[in-house]
Structure 1
């Protein structure tokens, strides 16, 4: 008897034509903890840290809605010195702040709580995170590991593998932080091109899931402008106004591009739910997804 074919959520999403755009989860603060051992299926929550330290970190991160991720270098030996940690923050002004430290004992991680309330340092290069969390979802490892290797070979000091970032069906997923930009549907070749362009200040609509400081309809509106006019920097377009009635949105996107005349576009977006599908490899429950689609763009 032939065994049933294994379900892979990323393959199923591609077969259905699931849209990437507007699927970046909210987040402007990230806590990164290097952990070179096996990652539990639930990431940080599954680590056997001292209860007091773990509760302090969880409570401090929750207070600022920080996303907590375990990280490690691709293919590096496990005895290369102290583990690192970082707090990354994307401020509303567009400033990117980072604070880094090291830890050898659980107690050392308490410094993260203080860093969450500190100013952080400006001017550091971004961090490129590749989700390879196979215990959470098979596709994250199958599709993420080749991307992690390709990016690590190109930018060894910037790239880290990480635990679950959301959207398993869009693997391979890459997050640039503290920029707060999600990319999905990548492979080894496309990931290098995407990150290279991102680091050069040119964000393309292709493979873009969205900006993490924007709600999904706004993410879709900005992506539509990028798709129409070509790549731009992370803060070259901003959302200047929103009108909403039910599932209908009219979103004004203003350009910060050089030139005598300001750029303005009104993007109309409608939202709807898809039929239920299995959206992850390891979660057999059937769930609908919310999709935001651009219906028109007009220019001021």
Structure 2
């Protein structure tokens, strides 16, 4: 039986506008195995995992577990765990890191402030400071969530680490198993699908140069899916690759055209130029497995760019 990633690739399903959404990512190092719902089914205290889920709900913060590529036995667990927070909104993106021996201290964070881009709560609660090393490359390897993430993600993470790429971590669920291997690059928060080592290295080089690599890009996690589609469409149309040159300033629902929801999204450039982008939600056909564990075939939604119109400068 074909995996969901194999079927998606055979059908040439677009990866654009399929990124998970979070204005801020909060990452906690946790060695050992991960279950399908990793915060409550790993060797992290499940009570702490549930409390973190509740604290993050509705704040724009997404919590994920990370571990170094390689063997996952708990005897590799460090005494002090890495913790990262990354805010992904253009013009205010940052990445801070800390070490902690008490992961329960994450509950001291003001999650609403963190989701809004205020790093002071992270620095105060955990002794955090700006991350000065290489950008982070998170490869989803959560095979209990979907086997494609283990079959395709773990070899990619191992290859990157073995070739000397720094900042590589395995991570829990990043969404879109059928696009495995899936990847998240921080601090900008661009997600990638069907990632290969060469494209990951190019994406990381791009971050160091302040630009976005569009090959395999699923979108910026700061935005909801219609805005992800609009931003990527403007980049394709204009050749603007600087990461913080574009931002989404409005996203208005236009109502449905028949059964098709539509949005008008305003994408703004730092130089004052603006574009109106119309995005329509459709279904990916023919039906396909949205994950390897799905009992029935589905028609996952897709975001189709209907038009891109540059506005006259006022």
TM range, smaller chain: 0.7 to 0.9
Contact preservation (8 Å) 1:72, 1:161: yes
Residue 35, structure 1, aligned to residue 46, structure 2:
no
TM-score with structure 1 length normalisation?
0.85
Native 8 Å contact 1:147 1:191 kept in 2: no
The equivalent of 2:107 in structure 1 is: 113
1:281 to 2:308 alignment: no
Name which of 230, 255, 258 aligns with 2:269.
Answer: 255
Report the CA distance between 1:119 and its aligned residue: 4.3
Instruction: Work out which of the residue numbers 164, 189, 192 in structure 2 matches 1:183.
Output: 192
TM-score computed with the length of structure 2 as normaliser: 0.81
Q: Distance in 1 between matches of 2:46 and 2:266?
A: 47
Aligned to 2:148, which of 139, 147, 168?
139
1:170-218, CA deviations, whole angstroms, 9 ceiling, x for partnerless residues?
Answer: 1111102342211111122222222222332221322110111111111
Q: How many residues align?
A: 287
Q: Distance in 1 between matches of 2:45 and 2:276?
A: 52
RMSD: 2.5
* In the alignment, structure 1 residue 290 sits paired with structure 2 residue 301: yes
2:243 is matched with which residue?
234
Contact conserved, 2:182 with 2:194, CA < 8 A, in 1? yes
Instruction: Classify 1:55/1:139 alpha carbon distance in 2 versus 1 (closer, same or farther; 3 Å).
Output: closer
> Which residue number corresponds to residue 206 of structure 2?
197
Comparing 227-236 with 86-95, greater Cα deviation is found at 86-95
Distance 1:282 1:95, change over 3 A: same
1:84 aligns with 2:81: yes
Q: Structure 1: 5+ residue runs without aligned partners?
A: 1-5
For the Cα contact (< 8 Å) 1:35–1:83, is it kept in 2? no
Does residue 267 (structure 1) correspond to residue 280 (structure 2)? The answer is: no
In structure 1, what is the Cα distance between the partners aligned to 2:211 and 2:60?
28
Does residue 180 of structure 2 align to residue 166 of structure 1? no
